[in-house]
């Protein structure tokens, strides 16, 4: 009997496994006959006998085949295998999801958010006109890509829990909530759901894009749900100076009662157009089909890219022509085309020269590899709500800003983690660098710190010991290695003091370092509902670094200060540590972060 992987192997070359969830796996593949990169989403074999889940999977494929819109990632095909499993073939979107974009850059500028809003609302208007409600509008499911001439272009992805309005508003058989709590409308927790629910969720997205915060805060899911149901959204931070008109647009979308929100996506878009200072514009389909295929733009549902959002924030679509879709641009005065062209040529030439000089300077640091692990869905221990998001954000930042070759694992078992570490280790040379980030449960036993993958048991079954960490992570030829452990008792891996060599000597010395989130004490999982306080500090400090080279000692001091301050404001004590790992060949070197 053929299996889903057998069927996929007959038609596609699997390039990468992008993720795995409760329903199935997502792969990046190349269609052999078309020579085109696509996405394949599978249904787990053990779920194929669950008629409800299987029906939902098939419905996702069918509705995706029905929907055709430039701002919605398309579904090309689907297939049901002989064993009852199946897979969906979807469009591969080159770009960056908005969650990772905001995590890396912070709040976006109003004109760019306005452009994103108009394009997304165009997609939602179409979706609702086809009598579908998405039910999972969030920054994760909106990909920012760009046209061939560098203008921002949004794609809505993942119709996995979208629902036909013709099917009524019944709950799932288990009463399960579908969607992301932070972005869910009040009626998604019980009530009639229609297109205005998506508009509410998109209002939360707009608040997030403008502030890098959520409008409804809570320490846990129960508090966040209560805030959606009974509280007003938080005011916009005054220091961001968001125009009042923009604030009012977002707050109306976040009205608790659907009748008080915008009636539909078109009315919402009209309000955005006026308040954000952007306008809808018709563009021909050929222009939209010239989506940039830059080598560094490779993200869908988790992979990362390096979109130049500085350009995107000030340069949108070109002159209006009659066509099929909506692109947004800011209102602008007349330009001087010839002068602009000359300046552009000079800038491009200068950039090419600088890039060559920069690349030559960076070559001496070698290649950078990272294994990034997030463990949240445990079989026998309490779930960790932020660990996977922590890993995704760290992976995105390392890849897009610092040029790391990243292997990301989510909810991985012990053997999967060790296998990934060994596989990456085989790629390393004596000139290379390895960073390992681990977010998950940890334990302290007899003075030793252990990592606990999702398949760990109370009897230490499948725990990852310090010995395994040292053997699997650091017994390789790479010149520099850094373990960043955001887990309780992670400092127990540390046994050596940092050397104090001059900076020029550190470059040639081997380094085996550990940056732990809280030494040999328990740590706080989350202070903001999205990231742990340690990972939040790590992302902020690395994200703030300018072009050039910085070492781990330079980033440690501000990370330590932010974590201590955030923990105390939360009523706890937490102090990160940076030290050498003994007995694995540390020679007093350091670990570098080279901004690309």
DSSP state of 84: S
For residue 88, give both structure tokens. 């969906």
Q: How many CA atoms lie within 13 A of 34 on its CB side?
A: 11
Map residue 210 onto helix, strand or coil.
Answer: helix
Helix ranges, 277-386 (H): 285-289, 309-312, 337-362
The per-residue pLDDT for range 334-363, each reduced to its tens digit, is 444 555 555 555 665 655 554 554 455 456
The per-residue pLDDT for range 12-40, each reduced to its tens digit, is 898 887 776 656 788 888 898 888 888 88
- Measured CA to CA, the distance from residue 249 to residue 232 in angstroms comes to 14
Please give the CATH number for the structural domain made up of 4-91: 3.30.200.20
Are 125 and 265 in contact by the 8 Å Cβ rule? The answer is yes
Map residue 50 onto helix, strand or coil.
Answer: coil
- Measured CA to CA, the distance from residue 507 to residue 558 in angstroms comes to 22
The per-residue pLDDT for range 242-251, each reduced to its tens digit, is 999 999 999 9
For residue 226, give both structure tokens. 């209560």
The answer to which of 224-238, 288-302, 336-350, 569-583 has the lowest mean pLDDT is 288-302
Cα 472 versus chain centre, distance:
27
Fold of 96-170+180-330: Transferase(Phosphotransferase); domain 1 (1.10.510)
Q: 550: phi > 0 → left, psi -120 to 50 → alpha, else beta; which? A: beta
- Average per-residue pLDDT for the chain: 77
> What are φ and ψ of residue 460, in 5° steps?
75, 5
Q: Which neighbouring-strand residues pair with 78?
A: 88
- Measured CA to CA, the distance from residue 366 to residue 21 in angstroms comes to 34
Are 313 and 277 in contact by the 8 Å Cβ rule? The answer is no
pTM for this model (two decimals): 0.51
Please report the pLDDT score of residue 336 as a whole number: 44
Please report the pLDDT score of residue 497 as a whole number: 65
The closest alpha carbon to 274, from 254, 316, 245, 247, belongs to: 245
What DSSP string runs through 425-456? HTT--TT-EEEEEEESEEEEETTEEEEE-TT-
Between 278 and 492, residue with greater pLDDT: 278
- Give the position of tokens 């690349």: 359
Q: How many C-beta neighbours within 10 Å does residue 588 have?
A: 16
**276-306 burial string, b = 16+ CB within 10 Å, else e?**
bebbbbebeeebbeebbebeebbbbbbbbbb
pLDDT band at 220 (very low <50, low <70, confident <90, very high): confident
Burial-class residue 77 by CB neighbours within 10 Å (0-12, 13-18, 19+). middle
State the pairing for strand pair 433-439/368-374.
parallel
The per-residue pLDDT for range 372-431, each reduced to its tens digit, is 999 988 888 888 888 999 999 999 999 988 889 999 999 999 889 988 888 888 888 888
The per-residue pLDDT for range 436-484, each reduced to its tens digit, is 999 998 887 777 778 889 988 877 788 887 777 766 655 577 888 899 9
Instruction: Report which secondary-structure segment, H or E, holds 568.
Output: helix 552-569
Fold of 367-595: Rossmann fold (3.40.50)
Are 520 and 485 in contact by the 8 Å Cβ rule? The answer is no
Cα 160 versus chain centre, distance:
18
- Measured CA to CA, the distance from residue 17 to residue 26 in angstroms comes to 6
Q: Which neighbouring-strand residues pair with 145?
A: 153
DSSP state of 238: G
Are 518 and 572 in contact by the 8 Å Cβ rule? The answer is no
- Measured CA to CA, the distance from residue 180 to residue 409 in angstroms comes to 21
For the residues 96-110, what does the mean pLDDT come to?
A: 88
Residue 148: pLDDT above 80?
no
């Amino acid at each position: 009997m053929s299996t889903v992987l057998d069927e996929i192997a007959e038609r596609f070359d699997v390039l990468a496994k992008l993720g795995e969830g409760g329903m199935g796996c997502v792969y990046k593949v190349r269609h052999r006959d078309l020579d085109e990169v696509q996405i394949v989403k599978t249904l787990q074999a053990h779920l194929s006998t669950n008629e409800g889940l299987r029906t939902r999977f098939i419905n996702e494929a069918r509705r995706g085949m029905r929907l055709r819109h430039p701002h919605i990632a398309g579904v090309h095909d689907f297939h049901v295998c002989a064993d009852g499993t199946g897979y969906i073939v979807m469009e591969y979107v080159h770009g960056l999801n908005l969650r990772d974009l905001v995590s890396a850059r912070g709040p976006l500028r109003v004109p760019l958010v306005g452009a994103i809003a108009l394009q997304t609302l165009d997609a939602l208007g179409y979706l609702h006109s086809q009598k579908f409600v998405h039910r999972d509008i969030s920054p994760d499911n909106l990909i920012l890509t760009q046209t061939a001439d560098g203008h921002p272009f949004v794609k809505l992805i993942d119709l996995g829990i979208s629902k036909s309005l013709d099917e009524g508003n019944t709950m799932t058989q288990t009463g399960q909530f579908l969607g992301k709590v932070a972005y869910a409308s009040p009626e998604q927790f019980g009530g009639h759901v229609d297109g205005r629910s998506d508009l509410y969720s998109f209002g939360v997205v707009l608040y997030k894009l403008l502030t890098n915060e959520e409008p409804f805060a809570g320490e846990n899911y129960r508090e966040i749900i209560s805030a959606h149901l009974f509280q007003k959204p938080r005011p916009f931070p005054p220091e961001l100076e968001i125009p009042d008109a923009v604030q009012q647009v977002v707050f109306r979308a976040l009205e608790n009662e659907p009748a008080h929100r915008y009636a539909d996506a078109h009315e919402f878009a009209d309000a955005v157009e006026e308040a954000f200072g952007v306008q809808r514009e018709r563009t021909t389909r050929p222009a939209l089909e010239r989506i940039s295929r830059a080598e560094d733009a490779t993200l869908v549902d988790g992979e990362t890219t390096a979109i130049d959002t500085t350009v995107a924030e000030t340069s949108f679509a070109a002159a209006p022509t009659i066509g099929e879709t909506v692109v947004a641009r800011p209102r602008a005065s007349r330009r001087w085309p010839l002068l602009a062209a000359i300046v552009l040529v000079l800038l491009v030439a200068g950039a090419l020269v600088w890039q060559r000089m920069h690349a030559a300077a960076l070559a001496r640091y070698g290649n950078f590899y990272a294994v990034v692990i997030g463990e949240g869905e445990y079989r026998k221990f309490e779930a960790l709500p932020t660990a996977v998001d922590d890993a995704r954000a760290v992976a995105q930042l390392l890849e897009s800003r610092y040029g790391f070759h990243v292997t990301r694992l989510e909810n991985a078992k012990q053997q999967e983690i060790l296998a990934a570490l060994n596989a990456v280790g085989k790629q390393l040379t004596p000139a290379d660098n390895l960073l390992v980030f681990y977010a998950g449960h940890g334990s302290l036993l007899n003075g030793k710190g252990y990592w606990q993958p999702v398949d760990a048991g109370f009897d230490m079954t499948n725990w990852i010991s310090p010995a395994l960490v040292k053997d699997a992570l650091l017994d390789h030829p790479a010149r520099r290695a850094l373990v960043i452990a955001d887990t309780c008792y992670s400092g127990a891996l540390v046994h050596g003091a940092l050397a104090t060599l001059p900076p020029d000597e550190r470059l040639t010395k081997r380094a085996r370092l550990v940056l732990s989130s809280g030494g040999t004490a328990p740590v706080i999982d989350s202070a903001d509902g999205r990231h742990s306080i340690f990972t939040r500090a790590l992302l902020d400090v690395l994200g703030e670094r300018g072009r050039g080279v910085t070492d781990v000692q330079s980033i440690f001091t501000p990370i330590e200060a932010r974590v201590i301050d955030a923990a105390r404001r939360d009523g706890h004590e937490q102090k990160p540590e940076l030290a050498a790992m003994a007995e694995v060949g540390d020679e007093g070197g350091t670990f570098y972060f080279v901004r690309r």
